[in-house]
Structures are given as structure tokens and as C-alpha cells.
């Protein structure tokens, strides 16, 4: 089978670790040929180019800035991605017959690319719904359904509906995402929607007690306290003002230490808080290389997830998997619409509180300090093996595509 994977992820090698590359390696291990369209931004001497690997061809399509830029430039360049990717299919893959097109959101502007490959090759189309846009931007106040920004919202909402329509199957990150999609898009048949969660090629990244001590000493972290770690993006979706409220509530906690590792548009607010408050039981660090970050996380005791309370869409951050892989229980502070907290609590590998109540956060921290961290971390790792492996996701996708093929009257793989 020939698979075309289209994404804004900056893929330069399928050997790299990541939720998409781990899944693509699974396809390759089953004998499929993988073709990838991934952007390279028009910065400096960057040029469009092709990367060849065994069983893989990666085309880096030249685009405008879509990362670390203002909203207007990002929006315009996101719209322009579609014709550039479609042109790349025609130029680089004109002699390749695709059986499956696999594409995650963001963005929602791949409709014409997918439609072209479906019409040309009769390929099946599978959408991995990682981001419900434009509603997430409405929730964060970056877009609105009315006023000056109303036409922009309506344009992207129309593109979103078109993407759902052209897709033969839609894989959502969790049951709450399935429910949300069907409730707000009644024209989408329920039979072509199911759960396809974030996944990874699992490695046991936990550390021994001696290794944990060594890592903590290396980075000047306390060896006798329970360390709560947050690692990842620090932007509007994480609700940084609430994170600061939570940290303020813990500045006098003698038993806990809080480590924040990340970068993003809201990093400066946290940096200003640390510079002004100078907390002795907390530390803020810029992003680390992935291997160093993985070992740093594994040297901690509890992983934290934060989501802004304004969200009406059920986000499901992929950083959950990195905590579980390191055998850490998880403390999730989120809006009530996502089911990530329910899954964590029901799986008995963590805690949940709403992300508008710093008092509840403080009380939950005390629960964490009294818990059997090692046992709960073991449950987190087992839950990861049972539900979130790349191998399981490969099976989910192949089964759904085969079902879709039969439903549409085509032959299965």
C-alpha cells in the first residue's frame, strides 16, 4: 500500500520520536510505502527539497511563516499552504498511486489536496482530528463568530465542514471528542467517526532511584522533595495566569517542588513572576533537547497538565504520553469539557481539578503528597501499553479504512 501523509509537523526523518513518526514507522514495518508532505518555512536559505529514507520519501514544501509569527501572517500562510501542497503532489508524486491519505489537524485547509488524490487515485481519506479549529481560537478570544473577525471564522468553519465531508473516516482523540464532533456537526454520519487517540512507540523511560538522584543533582533540584513537573508549550491554551495562581498557592509548601520546563508566547509572564517572587521551591527552565527533557521528566514524581478553563472543545494534550512513559502519575487541571481528567482518574493513575480553582489545586497537591506515587506511576505505564501504542493506532486506522472501503463499494487492503 502507498500512504500519503500530509501534515504541518516539521518532519525531517521518520526515525525521530513523535506521535506521527512513531505511527508512520508502524506502517513501514508492515511493508507499506510512506510518502510525506511537510513544510519548510521560507526563512533564510531554506529551499524546497526531498529527503529519501528506506521506504519513505519526504517532500519539504516551501511555505510562508506558520510558526512563531503573528496571527495575521499565520492565517494567510495557512490558507496558501493548500495550493502549494496540491502542486507538490502533482510535481513529486505524479507517478505514485496512493491507496490512503492520512492527515491530522491542524490545519483544516487540506480539503483540495485530499480531494485531488481521492479523485485521481481512488484513495481512502482518513482524518486524525487533533485540533478542533476554528472553535478553539474562538474559545481563546483570538477569533469571534461576529464582528470584524466574523468573516474569518466563517471561512475557516466552512473549510472545517468541507474537510469532514471529504474524509471517509475521522479518528478523534477521545470519546468526548467524538461526542463533540457529532453534536456540533449533525451532517457528519456517526458511522465514520471513532476514537483514534494520540499514540507512541512505547519505551520504558523510568529511572532507578540512583539515576533519579543523579539527574536531580545535575540540574540542582532537591533530592528529598516530591517534584511536580510541567513540560511543554506555554501559550494561551495552557492558561498561564492560572498556572501562576497555582504556583503562588504553593510557595510555602515545604514538601513539594515545582519545575516548569517549556517555551511559548506566554513564557515571559512566568519569567516575570519568577523574577519578582523568587520562589525557593520552584524553578523555570527553557526547553531542553528531547533526550535531556525525557530524563528530566523521569527524575520527577508527578507530571502536570494545564488547560485554560475557557475551552469548550475537549482538548487532549499529547504530553500525557511522555509522563506515562516515564511512569509518572498525572495531575490534570483543565476545563470540564475535556475527558482527559476522567480517563486519568478512572485509570487510577492520577488526579483532576478544574483550572479555575487554585484552592482545589492546592488540596489536590496534598493528596498527591500522601499517595503511593510509585504504584500509581506503574498504573500509568500499564495504561499507556493498553491504550496508546502506535501498533494499536495502526490497527485502528487499517480497520476503519477497510470498513470505509467496503461501505463505499471499493476493495479493502
351 grid coordinates = 488526579
Give the pLDDT band (50/70/90) at residue 408: low
What is the tens place of the pLDDT at every residue in 289-333?
888 888 999 999 999 999 999 999 999 999 999 999 999 999 999
Longest dimension (CA), the chain: 65
DSSP notation for 105-132: ES-S--HHHHHHHHHHH--EEEEEE---
Question: Residue 107: its pLDDT value, please?
Answer: 83
Question: Residue 45: its pLDDT value, please?
Answer: 65
Question: Residue 362: its pLDDT value, please?
Answer: 96
Cβ-based neighbours of 29, under 8 Å, separated by 6 or more: none
Neighbours of 385 (CB within 10 A): 13
Give the least confident one: 44-58, 117-131, 174-188. 44-58
How does the average pLDDT of the chain come out, rounded? Answer: 92
Is 364 within 8 Å of 305 (Cβ atoms)? no
Query: Which class would CATH give 209-387?
Result: alpha beta
d(CA 198, CA 295): 21
d(CA 244, CA 195): 34
Residue 165, pLDDT above cutoff 80:
yes
Q: What percent of the chain has pLDDT over 90?
A: 78
β-strand partners of 350: 330
Question: Residue 69: its pLDDT value, please?
Answer: 62
What is the tens place of the pLDDT at every residue in 94-104?
999 999 999 99
Place of cell 519505551: 203
377 grid coordinates = 506511576
Residue 409, pLDDT above cutoff 80:
no
What is the tens place of the pLDDT at every residue in 360-382?
999 999 999 999 999 999 999 99
d(CA 384, CA 380): 6
Give the pLDDT band (50/70/90) at residue 76: confident
**CATH architecture, domain defined by 2-200+389-407:** 3-Layer(aba) Sandwich (3.40)
Length reported for the chain: 413
Common-topology check for domains 2-200+389-407 and 209-387 = yes
Place of cell 506503574: 378
DSSP notation for 131-149: --TTHHHHHTTS--SSGGG
d(CA 341, CA 351): 7
Name the pTM for this structure.
0.91
Domain boundary assignment for the chain: 2-200+389-407, 209-387
Is 12 within 8 Å of 58 (Cβ atoms)? yes
Question: Residue 277: its pLDDT value, please?
Answer: 94
Amino acid at each position: 500500500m502507498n500512504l500519503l501523509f500530509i501534515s504541518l509537523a516539521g518532519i525531517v526523518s521518520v526515525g525521530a520520536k513523535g506521535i506521527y513518526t512513531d505511527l508512520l514507522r508502524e506502517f513501514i514495518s508492515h511493508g507499506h510505502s510512506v510518502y510525506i508532505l511537510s513544510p519548510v518555512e521560507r526563512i533564510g536559505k531554506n529551499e524546497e527539497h526531498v529527503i529519501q529514507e528506506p521506504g519513505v520519501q519526504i517532500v519539504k514544501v516551501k511555505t510562508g511563516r506558520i510558526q512563531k509569527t503573528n496571527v495575521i501572517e499565520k492565517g494567510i500562510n495557512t490558507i496558501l499552504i493548500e495550493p502549494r501542497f496540491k502542486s507538490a503532489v502533482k510535481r513529486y508524486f505524479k507517478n505514485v498511486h496512493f491507496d490512503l491519505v492520512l492527515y491530522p489537524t491542524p490545519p483544516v485547509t487540506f480539503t483540495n489536496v485530499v480531494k485531488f488524490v481521492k479523485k485521481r487515485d481512488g484513495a481512502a481519506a482518513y482524518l486524525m482530528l487533533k485540533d478542533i479549529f476554528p472553535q478553539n481560537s474562538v474559545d481563546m478570544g483570538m477569533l469571534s463568530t461576529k464582528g470584524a473577525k466574523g468573516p474569518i471564522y466563517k471561512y475557516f468553519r466552512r473549510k472545517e465542514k468541507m474537510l469532514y465531508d471529504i474524509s471517509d473516516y475521522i479518528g478523534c482523540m477521545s470519546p468526548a471528542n467524538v461526542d463533540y464532533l457529532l453534536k456540533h456537526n449533525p451532517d457528519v454520519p456517526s458511522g465514520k467517526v471513532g476514537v483514534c487517540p494520540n499514540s507512541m512507540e512505547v519505551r520504558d523511560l523510568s529511572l532507578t532511584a540512583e539515576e533519579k538522584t543523579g539527574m536531580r543533582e545535575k540540574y540542582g533540584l532537591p533530592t528529598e522533595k516530591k517534584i511536580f513537573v510541567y513540560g511543554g508549550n506555554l501559550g494561551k491554551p495552557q492558561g498561564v495566569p492560572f498556572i501562576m495562581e497555582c504556583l503562588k498557592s504553593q510557595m510555602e509548601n515545604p514538601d513539594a517542588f515545582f519545575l516548569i520546563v517549556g517555551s511559548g508566547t506566554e513564557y515571559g509572564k512566568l519569567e516575570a513572576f519568577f523574577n519578582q517572587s523568587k520562589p525557593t521551591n520552584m524553578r523555570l527552565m527553557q526547553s531542553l533537547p528531547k533526550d535531556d527533557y525525557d530524563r528530566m521528566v523521569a527524575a520527577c514524581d508527578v507530571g502536570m497538565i494545564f488547560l485554560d478553563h475557557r475551552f469548550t472543545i475537549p482538548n487532549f494534550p499529547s504530553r500525557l504520553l511522555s509522563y506515562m512513559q516515564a511512569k509518572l502519575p498525572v495531575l490534570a487541571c483543565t476545563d470540564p469539557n475535556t475527558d482527559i481528567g476522567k480517563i486519568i482518574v478512572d485509570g487510577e493513575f492520577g488526579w483532576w481539578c478544574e483550572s479555575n480553582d487554585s484552592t482545589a489545586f492546592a488540596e489536590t497537591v496534598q493528596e498527591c503528597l500522601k499517595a503511593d506515587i510509585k504504584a500509581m506511576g506503574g498504573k500509568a505505564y500499564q495504561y499507556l501499553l493498553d491504550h496508546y501504542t502506535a501498533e494499536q493506532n495502526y490497527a485502528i486506522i487499517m480497520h476503519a479504512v477497510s470498513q470505509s472501503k467496503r461501505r463505499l463499494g471499493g476493495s479493502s487492503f
